[in-house]
Amino acid sequence: MEPEAEIIRAQLFALQDEAYRTFHSALMPTVPPETVIGVRVPALRRLAKQLAGTAQAEVFLQALPHGYYEENNLHAFLIELIRDYDRALAETEAFLPYINNWATCDCFCPKVFAKHKKELLVPIRRWLDSGEVYIKYRDVNKDGKITDLDQVPIGYPKEPEIVYGFGASYGYKNWDISVFFQGLARESFWIDYNNVSPFFNTVDTKVVGNRVGHNALAKFIADSHWSEDNRDAYAVWPRLSPTSIENNSKTSTWFMRDGSFLRLKQLEIGYTIPEKVTNKVGIKNLRFYVTGNNLLCFSKFKLWDPEMAGSGLGYPVQRVYNIGLNLTF
C-alpha cells in the first residue's frame, strides 16, 4: 500500500465509532464485519472534502481494491466532488467493479452527472449489459485483479463425508410398525448456473438443427432476480440473460448450498389378523400392511430435493406408497 493510502486509513481509524460499527455491520450481511471500521457518513464526507483535489487523494483513488468498507465509501465521496464530467465518468467506471454492497451503491452519486444526463445514458446501458457487475468476487491475493489465483477452498466436498442411517421396529398386540431413516452430512453443492438459468439457447448435437430452447423457469428465479424494475442486490438470482454470463457461472459462495439432509426413507405399518379368526377359514397367517418410501426430508435447503444437488430441473426422488398383504396357508 502507498504511504498516502496508509495515512488515509489511519485517519479513518481515528474516526472509528465501535458502537456504530456493530450496528452498521448488522445491516450489511454480505460485508465481512472485520472490513468495517465504523465511521459515520457525515465524518466520511468531511474527510472527503478535506482531501479533494490533493495529491494524497489522487494516490488513494488509484489504490483499488481497498481493504475496508469505509475506504470504498470515501472513494465514492471523492468521485462525487470531481467537477469534470469525463474524469468523474472514468473514475466511476474504474470503481464500479469494487462496489460490493447496497450501502456504498446508495450513497454514491457524482454531482456532475446531473448536468450530463443524456450523455450518461450511453455508459449506463453498457453497464447494464455488462456481465461483470452482478456477482462480485474477492481479491484474495490483493494484486488488484480477479483471476484464478484468487480461488480458495470453500464449503465441504461434493461427495458427503458422512453417510448414515438408522431404524426401529415396534410391535403391540397385532400391530407392528417399522421406520428407517437415511441421511448424509458435511456435503456442499453448487446451484448449476448454466443448467438452471432460463431462456438459454444451447447447442445440442442430438437436436435437429443443433438448437434447443432452455425455457424452464424455476419459481424461485421468477420470484427473486435482479432487473431494472427490481434492483435488489440480494436477489437470489443475478440478471437474466439469453446467454451464459461467464462472470456469474464461476464456482462461488453465492451459489453454494448445504447438501446435508435426513430422509424418512421407509415407513411400514402392519396389522395381523388374530389366529382365532384366520384358523376358521384355513389361513395360518394374514397380515395387511401399508408402506411409504421417501415420505419426509429434513434439510436447510428448501428450493428442491437436496439429493438432486445443483440441478433442480430434473426428476426428484419419488414418493412411493404401497398397500399389500401377506398370506400363508
What does the DSSP 8-state code read for residue 34?
G
Same-domain check for residues 275 and 236: no
Same-domain check for residues 322 and 182: yes
pLDDT of residue 235: 76
Count of domains forming the chain: 3
Same-domain check for residues 23 and 166: no
Is residue 193 predicted with pLDDT exceeding 70? yes
Same-domain check for residues 208 and 179: no
C-alpha span between 31 and 70 (Å, rounded): 11
Q: Among 220, 246, 272, give the residue marking a domain's end.
A: 246
C-alpha span between 133 and 277 (Å, rounded): 75
Same-domain check for residues 309 and 182: yes
pLDDT of residue 156: 92
Same-domain check for residues 176 and 281: yes
Same-domain check for residues 54 and 114: yes
| Domain range for 229 | 193-246
Q: Residue 180 is placed in which grid cell? A: 428407517
When pLDDT is averaged across residues 184-199 and rounded to a whole number, the result is 88
Same-domain check for residues 123 and 227: no
pLDDT tens for 124-174 read 877 766 655 456 777 788 776 677 888 899 999 999 999 999 999 999 999
Is residue 279 predicted with pLDDT exceeding 80? yes
Q: Residue 91 is placed in which grid cell? A: 473514475
pLDDT tens for 37-63 read 999 999 999 999 999 999 999 999 988
Residues recorded for the chain = 329
Same-domain check for residues 123 and 15: yes
Same-domain check for residues 101 and 45: yes
Q: Is residue 314 part of a domain?
A: yes
Nearest to 274 by CA among 266, 286, 264, 260: 286
Q: Are 295 and 267 in contact (CB under 8 A)?
A: yes
pLDDT tens for 17-34 read 999 999 988 888 778 888
pLDDT of residue 215: 60
Q: Residue 98 is placed in which grid cell? A: 469494487
Which residue type, as a one-letter code, is found at position 201? Answer: N
Q: Is residue 87 part of a domain?
A: yes
pLDDT tens for 121-138 read 888 877 766 655 456 777
Q: Residue 24 is placed in which grid cell? A: 452498521
Q: Is residue 153 part of a domain?
A: no
Task: Indicate the pLDDT class of residue 210, thresholds 50, 70 and 90.
Answer: very low
Q: Is residue 222 part of a domain?
A: yes
C-alpha span between 42 and 46 (Å, rounded): 6
Same-domain check for residues 22 and 80: yes
Spatial CB neighbours of 223, under 8 Å, sequence gap ≥ 6: 236
Spatial CB neighbours of 273, under 8 Å, sequence gap ≥ 6: 174, 283, 286, 287, 288
Same-domain check for residues 298 and 168: yes
